[in-house]
Amino acid sequence: MHSIPSAHAKVRSSALALAHFFSPAHSQTMTPIRSSLAIAIAACLALSACQKASQPADQVEVPNATVATSAPVAAPLTLDSSTLPALAAFNPADLDPAAPACADLNAHVNGRWLAANPVPSDRTTWGSFEMLAERSLAVQKQLAEQLAANPARTGIGKLVGDIYASGMNEAAIDAALLQPIQAELDQIAKLDSTPAIVAFLRAQQALGQPMLFGLGAESDFKDPNLVIAYVGPGGLGLPDKTYYVGDAHKVEREAYQQHIAATLKLAGATDADASAQATAVLAIEVALADKSYSSEELSRDVSKYYNPISVADAEALAPTFGWTSYFADSGLAAPGTISLANPAYFKQLSEMLESTPLVDWQAYLRFHMIDSAAPYLAKPFADQNFAFYGQALRGQKEQKPRFKRVLDTVNGQVGEAMGELYVEVAFPPESKAQMEALVTSLKGALKIRLEKLEWMSPETRSKALEKWGSFVSKIGYPDAWRDWSGLSSTPDNYVGNVRRALAYNFAYEMAKVGKPKNRGEWGMMPQTVNAQYNPLQNDITFPAAILQPPFFDPKADPAENYGGIGAVIGHEMLHGYDDQGSRFNAQGSFANWWQPTDATGFKKRTQQLVEQFNAYEAAAGKKVNGLLTLGENIADLGGLTVSYDALKSAHPEQAASSKDGISQDQRFFMNWATVWRRNYTDKEMTVRLVTDSHAPARFRANGAPKNMPAFAAAFNCKPTDPMVRSGKSLIAIW
């Protein structure tokens, strides 16, 4: 179920459906990050379900709303850099001589910092990524406040200013209580048959507010130049299907059931009714989880996202939904081939809609409607939402300040508009030019490695080099900004602004279906601290906000830049050759370009990496899942290796240089480790070990260097030191 995510959740466009991210999202999510193909395939689903189901998407009526265009902002925006949070640059003073690098690079570089910087009370993780995220938010806050206070704002400035102003109006939000979603709750109460439930679901989807499953637009796996419709399951409120069975997550499951009951009580249910309804809701989710894929299954088999069928075949598989009407209501009168991921889920759901008591479905829809909208509603609902998803599930002590939550809403609804404003004040042009040079440097080093791989046959090597030749890099911000013409906003209606953005963004996605893919479109916002690789487009993206220390500094020593953003560039490139990215060819098609013997050898090498990470214990009795994290670990090892080669090739004159008594090679590896300084709450770590395709940060700091002889040489490590793998245990893939 993904009708409404939190205002805190990062929203990925459908272009990023299968993208590999350098780091997991560091935003603090109050509503569930659900294990859903619908989310992965179409992030236009990851918004808020507040609009009246009875109103068509183009007929939402809000008094005094005006239409945003791409007109310039009325007054120049300014940025006071002196008030921004500190950067997380590598600092030799942080080094701990009591923890030798050859024993534990992470402890040597980050141990002191980690001990002195516990997780803030409004977060569940804290480190280099989060520090830059705070800096990005501080920039955005200055921009949003200027726009909210400027009555002459127009265009995208009005959109950003209106959403921010309306979200900061706590008095109006609290006074409204449940009124913003009362129409939907009334409709749910009147549902009297399975066809009525299906009609309600169909209407919600048409407004960009999906429940149980969702619809998005993405390139066809077999023809990446053509956009098709993807339908994928959701339906779950807990982080992963494994949370619904066994004893490992019994405590979280029980807390979730209590949260369901508490939420329904806030909406007026009696204690007895709320308890009974909570039992029914959880029972539905347990049944849906049984046919859902786990995070591990999805991360290690990209084909599970793709199941091309006709609408007629969908009707035969799951007839309850009335797929022809479902697509027509969403603006797709004749969608042609669609992808219906996880057919077993839809077959089961179709049967459950017929067999599960109507009152149970009403309880399910009622709870998820309230729960998803809670971050936008009055304080009692927002607090209850946080009490489970933030505190009970992830160990967050207190909610983020309201301005951060509202900025997350801005980014979720009109993120690229905010990004256009962010770049205007916060991204120096010279950074883009230097990044382009670094990408060229890394790309050259990767080519040399591909040409010299001993374990790869000439036939497979030629295909690998063809893919190398088609890489496209996107740096800083898009070449062309999105046009927001037609989206209206008002400064005094928070939910109304979200409603309109939902309908607008969903229609924007659906308009892509059946048309050529726009390869210039970005799936990340410039203000995002992350990077990504998209296998369907074979492109790599580096937003403006990550191009700061410790990742990148135009004035920094080359070794630090190569150990930071250089390794990130290499990481994203190597995703094109990890165990899943390597299943896509140079054109972005899902096609096998491997000779059988090469594929076997590749799998054998990657299995070594699975075993290396399986041995790491993240918490007492809780190990890293080497299979879940395999793709990221392949990219880390390959990316760091390629970046080291690029450094040596680009700056041979500095090979023997020393700065603060630290050699070039040592600075390279130390800044790599600085990138991965991160503390976690215990509960956050528990969730991530099950759901996150990225290993915990300290193992990423150490895992790749252990397999690099250059690291051992840089620090004069002995063969028996913990940070040294040698002989048959040394893993070399790319």
Q: Is the pLDDT of residue 13 over 80?
A: no
**Which value, in Å, is the radius of gyration of the alpha carbons in the chain?**
25
Q: What percent of the chain has pLDDT over 90?
A: 88
Residue from 694, 696, 704, 713 nearest 732 by CA? 704
Dist CA 528 CA 526 (whole Å):
5
The predicted structure's pLDDT at residue 654: 85
Q: Is the pLDDT of residue 462 over 90?
A: yes
Pairing mode, strands 472-476 and 539-543: parallel
The predicted structure's pLDDT at residue 39: 31
Which residues does 28 contact at the CB level (< 8 Å), separation at least 6?
8, 122, 123, 124, 390, 394, 396, 400
- 731: which 2 tokens? 């893993």
Mean pLDDT calculated for residue range 47-64: 30
pTM over 0.85: yes
Dist CA 501 CA 489 (whole Å):
9
Q: Is the pLDDT of residue 41 over 80?
A: no
Mean pLDDT calculated for residue range 130-158: 97
Q: Is the pLDDT of residue 544 over 50?
A: yes
Q: Which amino acid is at 490?
A: T
Are 354 and 322 in contact, with CB atoms under 8 Å apart?
no
Helix (H, G, I), strand (E, B) or coil at 473: strand
Q: Residue 107 — pLDDT band, cuts 50, 70, 90? A: very high
Q: Is the peptide bond before 550 cis (omega within 30 degrees of 0)?
A: yes
The predicted structure's pLDDT at residue 74: 58
pLDDT one-digit tens code per residue, 196-207:
999 999 999 999
Are 70 and 480 in contact, with CB atoms under 8 Å apart?
no
Mean pLDDT calculated for residue range 230-258: 97
Q: Is the pLDDT of residue 66 over 70?
A: no
Residue from 452, 365, 375, 410 nearest 143 by CA? 410
Mean pLDDT calculated for residue range 403-423: 98
Q: Which amino acid is at 387?
A: A
Residue from 343, 536, 414, 334 nearest 48 by CA? 414
Q: Residue 53 — pLDDT band, cuts 50, 70, 90? A: very low
Pairing mode, strands 227-233 and 338-340: parallel
Pairing mode, strands 662-663 and 658-659: antiparallel
Q: Residue 497 — pLDDT band, cuts 50, 70, 90? A: very high
Residue from 375, 355, 371, 354 nearest 363 by CA? 371
Dist CA 360 CA 147 (whole Å):
45
The predicted structure's pLDDT at residue 500: 94
Angle at 597 between CA 591 and CA 598, to 5 degrees: 60
Angle at 282 between CA 194 and CA 623, to 5 degrees: 135
The predicted structure's pLDDT at residue 655: 83
| Between residues 414 and 657, the one the model is more confident about | 414
Q: Is the pLDDT of residue 34 over 90?
A: no
Give the position of tokens 């494994």: 242
All domains of the chain, ordered by start, with CATH?
Answer: 14-70+169-410 (1.10.1380.10), 428-471+554-583+595-734 (3.40.390.10)
Are 235 and 213 in contact, with CB atoms under 8 Å apart?
yes
Q: What percent of the chain has pLDDT over 70?
A: 90
Residue from 716, 723, 709, 712 nearest 645 by CA? 709
The predicted structure's pLDDT at residue 334: 86
Q: Is the pLDDT of residue 510 over 60?
A: yes
Dist CA 130 CA 121 (whole Å):
13
pLDDT one-digit tens code per residue, 559-586:
999 999 999 999 999 999 999 999 999 9
pLDDT one-digit tens code per residue, 296-336:
999 999 999 999 999 999 999 999 999 999 999 999 988 99
The predicted structure's pLDDT at residue 45: 25
Q: Is the pLDDT of residue 125 over 80?
A: yes
Residue from 34, 173, 65, 103 nearest 503 by CA? 65
Are 567 and 628 in contact, with CB atoms under 8 Å apart?
no
How far lies 353's CA from each of 313, 326, 358, 360, 388, in Å?
A: 19, 16, 8, 10, 28
Dist CA 91 CA 671 (whole Å):
9
Are 668 and 103 in contact, with CB atoms under 8 Å apart?
no
The predicted structure's pLDDT at residue 29: 33
